[in-house]
Structure 1
Amino acid sequence: MDRLSNLPHPLLSHILSSLPFKEAAKTSSLSKQWRNQWKSTRNLDFNHLYFANRDSNGDVKLQPQIFTDFVQQFIANNKSPIMDKLSLTFSSPGDSQELVEKCITFSFERNVKHLKLDFSDPTWDENDLDGPAHPMFDLPLSFYNHQVLESMTLFSCKFDVLRFKNFGLLKSISLRWIELKVSTLKALLANCGCLESLSVKSCWNMDGLDVCGKDLKLSTLVVEKCHFLNPYFEIEAPNLKYLKYSGTVGVFFVNGTGLEEADLDFGLESECDESLGDSLYQSLNQICPTTALTVCTYMLQVIPMGEEPLGMVPRLNVTHLTLRTAMHNYEQYGIRFFFNSCPRLETLTIDIDRSRRICDEYEPPLGDKFECLWTRSAIIFKCITQTLRKVEIKGFKGTPNEVYVMFYLVNHARVLEKLTVITSSEESNRGPEFFRSVADQVHGFRKASENLSITIV
């Protein structure tokens, strides 16, 4: 019996609105009754890639006219009084100003609370910090009349930040592929007093980062792969709880925050030397105290090159540490650095990806053999014996360094309660079965903790 079709229309509309727009549209093939049911969804995702074809060579061929006709027809025939979300993704819409105007007006009339306008090109390289040559799309004046917006996503858009005073309810802003001056960012924060989340990705010509204000409600700040003319980052936001940064090494000044979690990735930095090790050390001192910390392969290699190769002074307050690592020899001193720096560590996550960048020139800071760091001359750190209770290893392939570290943890972690090893699903000459067989060797290790539970996935 088809119980779903007999549900009241408002409930069906709610269910369809929980599906991705493309999946909701597929329900039109179920039966005649469902042919137009999907059009009652309150979450619209107009994406030109849904209308693309591939030629005989596999190249994507866009069909802008078919896409434009579909969007205009959908808007013209839609009688729903309220919409929750509207997303328009359309590369280089320079000749389609009318379409953009209609979508913005439609969202305004339907009291859309979550709006996304993406005019970027899917072929752009997010690792190219100079920014694309393509001009940004100038948003029409009607955009600034949208006073009920709670979240806004703008990709490759040009806007007048002084008009953002109308967005009094805005809690979340995500900007990408935009030339962004520090003055623009400061004005945005000043004009959007309710802003709680700010994400800035792949923006360029940024003359530093200034996120300061005693009245800021900002709790989440994400800055990824941006081009800074002056890599100086000043953050003073009393409600900030989560900070994520990826890009080149810069100077951080963080003050007056209640930061709880930081995710740091400096993988776009091209140099590896002692001075950068000192810069990373100073930045980490500024960003902490935080109880959850994620660090990258680059930091594991470079931070021991600085003047303090053994650990942070004073020690960190981190209780959950995530290491994004290739488990390369060059990272082993960095792993030991953070074990020594986190005497209160309770949860350790080792996320292994061997494609992460390894420095071309590297010299061990202390001259020991890498394997000896975890075996004969291993230092047993305070967190290992007294506080570490949970370890998760992701992407395990059974390389010597992976086995050494796993052996070290099992052999010395006296209060460890749970070890989860998630083997890599990568198909290779050895493959998942081999990875699992190596991981299973952990059951034969001498265990320092009587209460240790081991799970191999």
Structure 2
Amino acid sequence: MAKSVATRSESKVKKLKLDTVLDMDDRISNLPDSLIYHILSLLPTKQAVATSILSRTWKPFWTQLPTLDLKDQPTNPPNTFTYSMHRILALHRAPVLRNFSLKWYTPCDSFDLDTWIHIAIERNVQQLKLEIYLNAEYEDDEDGSVSVDFNFGDDVNVIYYGELFFLPRRLYSSKTLVVMELTGGILLNPIYSCEFPSLKILCLHRIYYEYDDSLSRFLSCCPILEDLSILRNGTGGLTELKISLAKLKCLYIEFKPFRLEPSPGYKLEINTPALEYFRFEGYLRNIIFFEKPAHLVEAHVKISSELNRNEDWLDDWISEYKIYYGDWVFKLLRTLNNAKFLSLLCEDEKCIGFGSIYPSRFQNLIRLNFELNQANWHVLQALLIVAPNLEVLVVKCYDNGERLCWTEPLHDPGSLSHLTSFIFNGCEGLEHEMEFVNSILMKAIVLKTMTIKIKVSDRQLKESVLKKLLMFPRHSTTCILTVE
């Protein structure tokens, strides 16, 4: 009898648990369709398709999603994903495709790729992302993921030497594209009748260009482009680049040097009168702005090192380029003197040993991020003189080789008169560093905070630096000193 009661009790508990689960399922199924579509649109397409097995109610949801995010898996048997792609696109019914993303890393018939891209264009795709490597190799990372392996070390950017994919001609006349991102083994060769009347954001990441004018012809088809990113190992076959865009607001250029050969020369002409944000990273050659960007707000310049490599061609490179390198750097900086925010890093120790920032003045500059090495103290000194309205100064000392001492700049009554915040990263308490800090304390009459961040965690060094700071005379008696 007791056993029977216990059995009935267990049955009631199980029924209660089952009812709870069913109620939970009902709550999910009863969500508004718009919310379910939104949730599924955040998933990769493969996972969204998998939800169709949950119930008949869920089966059609993924077919109406306005996004497709598809990625080839190199571990799949040959042609398996090709078949899956055709199947997915055949079942997909969304009349408008907002986002289409395709990552492909294995051999594939270009006809198939063209077909899939055509389908996206026919459905008025607004955001298109293509990353294509037709014959890449793969290896398992330590965490089990799959990555492209081009037989280069981890310290070198990926360089692709495989078969290139020609973009379908139909793509060059898309009237609905707003965002386009192209990456990898893609060859850009725009037709002369190309047109992108709606394109506002364009990213060209390590793709290839058939002719020197391929880029400029492509950009001429983008009348309202506002954001442009060009990333390359070397120049991708380009020696003369022209960027002429009347509406462009953001420009990011990255030219990383090759490890196995000298970085090629190039000439970059920029005509972007509406530019507000500029970022350059990589090795520098001749960059020419047709006119100074009058509306520039933010500029970041990071020049990669070439002089510290030991290749046989290095001596020839130094003799050919060293004398011009400083002029290129300072010419670029002088062009950017309308910026309100500026960051500067020159990894080459001697790349700015020649040239001068004068007579330009950075009248609008209110924040400066500057990375010091033993060769560019004089550049920082010059910038402090020509930026009378500077409010925030952030300095990072990343190279302590053969140090050059801080030299007190020429007296300028307006120098540092508006500085309110100073941060010094990587300080070691060295004599020339403390002379520099002392100079800031003496000249910054409205300084509110000074933060010194020691390079290594050393309590005695922190105490020593703080003791020196407290002994320095300072113009601003309300300044808060911090040593971290």
Given the two structures, how large is their TM-score scaled by the length of structure 1?
Answer: 0.73
2:462 and 2:483 in contact (8 A); partners too:
no
Residue 296 of structure 1 corresponds to 345
Residue 317 of structure 1 corresponds to 363
2:301 and 2:344 in contact (8 A); partners too:
yes
Cα deviation code 1:265-313 (max 9, x no counterpart): 221443484542233223322343333222113377532x2154xx532
Aligned mates of 1:291, 1:197 — CA distance in 2: 19
Aligned mates of 1:242, 1:407 — CA distance in 2: 33
Cα deviation code 1:92-112 (max 9, x no counterpart): 54x243442343133224322
**Equivalent position to 1:136, from 142, 160, 164:** 164
* Aligned residues: CA RMSD: 4.4
- Structure 1 residue 352, shift from structure 2 partner: 6.3
> In 2 relative to 1, CA 34–182 (structure 1 residues): closer, same or farther, beyond 3 Å?
same
Cα deviation code 1:200-235 (max 9, x no counterpart): 21141212222236xx22222222116885522222
Aligned mates of 1:316, 1:114 — CA distance in 2: 38
Cα deviation code 1:361-391 (max 9, x no counterpart): x7x7xxxx53x55xxx687876764112234
> In 2 relative to 1, CA 98–274 (structure 1 residues): closer, same or farther, beyond 3 Å?
closer
One-letter amino acid of the counterpart of residue 476, structure 2: S
Aligned mates of 2:465, 2:199 — CA distance in 1: 53
TM alignment of 1:344-363, pairs within 5 A: 344-350=389-395
Aligned mates of 1:212, 1:184 — CA distance in 2: 13
> In 2 relative to 1, CA 306–69 (structure 1 residues): closer, same or farther, beyond 3 Å?
same
- Structure 1 residue 12, shift from structure 2 partner: 3.2
- Structure 1 residue 242, shift from structure 2 partner: 2.1
Residue 449 of structure 1 corresponds to 476
Residue 101 of structure 1 corresponds to 114
2:252 and 2:278 in contact (8 A); partners too:
yes
- Structure 1 residue 46, shift from structure 2 partner: 1.7
Residue 55 of structure 1 corresponds to none
One-letter amino acid of the counterpart of residue 415, structure 1: V
TM alignment of 1:390-405, pairs within 5 A: 390-392=421-423, 396=425, 398-400=427-429, 404=434
- Structure 1 residue 137, shift from structure 2 partner: 0.5
> In 2 relative to 1, CA 398–292 (structure 1 residues): closer, same or farther, beyond 3 Å?
closer
Residue 258 of structure 1 corresponds to 294
How many residues were matched structurally?
416
Residue 151 of structure 1 corresponds to 179
Residue 14 of structure 2 corresponds to none
Q: Residue 46 of structure 1 aligns to a residue in which SS? A: strand
2:226 and 2:247 in contact (8 A); partners too:
yes
TM alignment of 1:222-237, pairs within 5 A: 222-225=252-255, 230-237=265-272
1:315 and 1:342 in contact (8 A); partners too:
yes
- Structure 1 residue 263, shift from structure 2 partner: 1.9
Aligned mates of 1:23, 1:69 — CA distance in 2: 14
Aligned mates of 2:131, 2:222 — CA distance in 1: 21
Q: Residue 104 of structure 1 aligns to a residue in which SS? A: helix
Q: Residue 220 of structure 2 aligns to a residue in which SS? A: helix
Q: Residue 94 of structure 2 aligns to a residue in which SS? A: coil
**Identical-residue share of aligned pairs (%):** 20
Aligned mates of 1:253, 1:165 — CA distance in 2: 27
**Equivalent position to 2:91, from 51, 72, 77:** 77
Residue 197 of structure 2 corresponds to 168
**Equivalent position to 1:387, from 407, 418, 423:** 418
TM alignment of 1:154-303, pairs within 5 A: 154-155=182-183, 156-162=185-191, 165-180=194-209, 181-202=211-232, 203-212=235-244, 216-225=246-255, 230-256=265-291, 257-260=293-296, 261-270=298-307, 271=318, 273-298=322-347, 302-303=351-352
Cα deviation code 1:152-180 (max 9, x no counterpart): 11222224412563322111222133333
Residue 383 of structure 2 corresponds to 338
One-letter amino acid of the counterpart of residue 354, structure 2: G
Residue 58 of structure 1 corresponds to none
Aligned mates of 1:144, 1:347 — CA distance in 2: 45
Instruction: Name which one, 1 or 2, has greater alpha-carbon Rg.
Output: 2
> In 2 relative to 1, CA 62–440 (structure 1 residues): closer, same or farther, beyond 3 Å?
farther
- Structure 1 residue 197, shift from structure 2 partner: 2.0
Question: Which stretch shifts more, 159-168 or 236-245?
Answer: 159-168
**Structure 2 alignment gaps of length 5 or more:** 1-22, 137-147, 258-262, 308-317
- Structure 1 residue 36, shift from structure 2 partner: 8.3
One-letter amino acid of the counterpart of residue 266, structure 1: I
- Structure 1 residue 330, shift from structure 2 partner: 3.8
Question: Which stretch shifts more, 440-449 or 7-16?
Answer: 440-449
